[in-house]
Amino acid sequence: MRRKHALLGAIALMTAISLSACGDNKDATNNYNSNSYGHDGYMGLSNSNPHLPNRNGQFLNNDSDGDFAQRQLLQIGGIDKLHVRIQAPHMYVSIKPKRGVNGKQLEAKALRVLQKNMPRYKVHVRMT
């Protein structure tokens, strides 16, 4: 009889211990994972860390991406005015070509340059 009580006590203790691990452990951002970054608004994604450097050692953000895109486009030449707008995952580029420059060729070249250098964006180029 004593052995039966000891066995029942051990089962009850093991059940209590295993159920205690099933508690509701939400953090301040209402996430279950206490190591979560929460919703930081970066590129429209949740639980991302914008402070991770990219492969070039720079930090990812819209300002630096826009500046980089403009520098790459200005290197191809033939551009009078340029405007870059980022709405992740899309990059919208408006280009006004210089007089005498073939707009279709410039548009194709700009699209190639941006797709090669900015692969994380769906690039849209428009000539004005």
Stronger pLDDT, 59 or 15, i.e. the higher one: 15
Query: What percentage of residues in the chain have a pLDDT greater than 90?
Result: 42
Lowest mean pLDDT among 18-27, 43-52, 87-96: 43-52
Residue 10 half-sphere exposure toward CB, CA atoms < 13 A: 6
User: Which of the four pLDDT bands, split at 50, 70 and 90, describes residue 3?
Assistant: confident
| Residue 125 pLDDT exceeds 70 | yes
Query: What domains does the chain contain, in order, with CATH numbers?
Result: 65-127 (3.30.70.1350)
Q: What is the pTM of this model?
A: 0.54
Query: What percentage of residues in the chain have a pLDDT greater than 70?
Result: 66
Count of other CB atoms within 10 angstroms of residue 123:
20
Note the pLDDT tens digit of each residue in 19-38. 665 555 555 555 555 444 45
DSSP assignment of the chain: -HHHHHHHHHHHHHHHHHHHTT-----TTS-S-TT------GGG-SS--TTSB-TTSPBP-HHHHHHHHHHHHHHH--EEEEEEEEETTEEEEEEEEPTT--HHHHHHHHHHHHHHH-TTSEEEEEE-
- Whether the ω angle into residue 119 lies within 30 degrees of 0, i.e. cis, is no
